[in-house]
């Protein structure tokens, strides 16, 4: 008789534990899914930003290439977020904006670039 009295409370307790664990698992999976989606969105935003910066870098390169005959190449440095324009045989004189070789500077609209030779 005593076991019959304990069976109902034990069944209720086990059912409650199963429901709580199930609810926790669903919430955990939902949170993981949200975080995964946010990571995907951030990666996509980063890819779009890098593509935009590469196009800006190309525009800077073309602009510099039209102004000077010694523009050699360019590349976008993702790690430092700068456009690098390379020149060959720098024959600039004192007072020239890039006199002295390697220059880090500010370009129009706050876009940074680096000059290398």
pTM for this entry: 0.56
Residues 60, 43: contact at Cβ < 8 Å?
A: no
Residues 65, 71: contact at Cβ < 8 Å?
A: yes
Over 90: is that where the pLDDT of 6 sits? no
Domain of 107? 2-116
Q: What is the pLDDT of residues 77-107, one digit of tens each?
A: 888 888 888 877 555 555 455 544 444 444 3
Q: What is the pLDDT of residues 38-67, one digit of tens each?
A: 999 999 999 999 999 999 999 988 988 888
Domain count, the chain: 1
Q: What is the pLDDT of residues 11-32, one digit of tens each?
A: 899 999 999 999 999 999 999 9
Residues 76, 53: contact at Cβ < 8 Å?
A: yes
């Amino acid at each position: 008789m005593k076991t019959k009295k304990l069976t109902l409370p034990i069944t209720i307790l086990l059912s409650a534990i199963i429901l709580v664990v199930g609810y926790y698992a669903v919430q955990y999976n939902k949170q993981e899914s949200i975080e995964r989606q946010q990571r995907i969105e951030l990666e996509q935003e980063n890819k779009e930003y890098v593509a935009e910066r590469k196009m800006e870098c190309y525009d800077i390169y073309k602009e510099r290439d039209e102004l000077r005959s010694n523009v050699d190449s360019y590349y976008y440095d993702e790690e430092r977020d700068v456009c690098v324009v390379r020149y060959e045989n720098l024959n600039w004189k004192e007072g020239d904006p890039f006199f002295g070789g390697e220059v880090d500077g500010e370009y129009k609209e706050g876009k940074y670039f680096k000059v290398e030779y």
